[in-house]
Amino acid sequence: MAIGIPDESGSHSTWLGTAKAPDAIRKVSNARDVYIEKNFQCPALPAKGLPEIRVHDYGNIKKRQIPQVFEKILAFPKIPISIGGDHSNTTPILKALSKKYGKISLVYFDAHPDFVSHTRNYYGSVITDSLDYIDVKSSLQIGIRSPEAEELVNLKKHGLRAISPLDVVENGIREVSKIIKDTTKGNVYVSFDMDCLDPAYAPGVSVPVPIGLESQDCTYLLKGIASRGLIGMDIMEVCPAHDLNDVTSHLASRIIGEVVSSCKV
């Protein structure tokens, strides 16, 4: 179940425009991932094709509608995939999911820890704002390379593991995948900020940071997580106004397709 949340009210970035992302990702997906041949639509399938999974686009909702919409969706055996918007949209999603699943194992892909605590309810305080809904000991962050001093203190204080892109290079992608598997437990949710990727792969984000993850590595990790079971996922911080030939929106679309194709059913 895909849900667009075109809201950037929690963003403090000078690069605005993430509210345009849900529709931009849909548009580029339809243009580049579906080919027309003699009036026949031929989808460009993920790496190993799609299993017997029906994907429904719920459309766009307002941030304040998240509790009601997710309560409705979670009444069915559906896996919600949310498309933001800024990363602060993740907190009300986690809150809604926790009402059904309890404490959540969170795998948080981001260039930033988003663990600021002196200011709340914005895209830099997502982890602080979500502590009541996640099991920190069975959660971890991937792609971190631009932390503030306060965030380093909070990571250490709460024992939340953070893996940097250079850690991935040193340890190898299979070892990182094993770390994720060994750390997470039970109800796993993925929150994916596109700025976890190097700007060479995803230039159209609100806060780009060099020396990031490679797109194939992220996709490999995501497919591994999805194959073991997900309760939901979001993909945030695509900023179409600063994209280059829609490559970031297209990559987001392909990532969603690869995750869906790997989901445990």
How far is the CA of 172 from the CAs of 130, 163, 214, 221, 230, in angstroms? 30, 12, 12, 11, 23
User: pLDDT value at position 248?
Assistant: 98
2-262 CATH, one of 3.40.50.300, 3.40.800.10, 3.90.1150.10, 2.50.20.10? 3.40.800.10
Residues contacting 17, CB < 8 A, separation 6+: 8, 206, 239, 240, 241, 242
- Rounded to the nearest integer, the mean pLDDT of the chain is 93
pLDDT digits (tens, 9 = 90+) for 25-77: 999 998 888 655 555 566 666 766 655 666 789 999 999 999 999 999 999 98
pLDDT digits (tens, 9 = 90+) for 133-177: 999 999 999 999 999 999 999 999 999 999 999 999 999 999 999
pTM (2 decimals)?
0.94
Q: Where are the domains of the chain?
A: 2-262
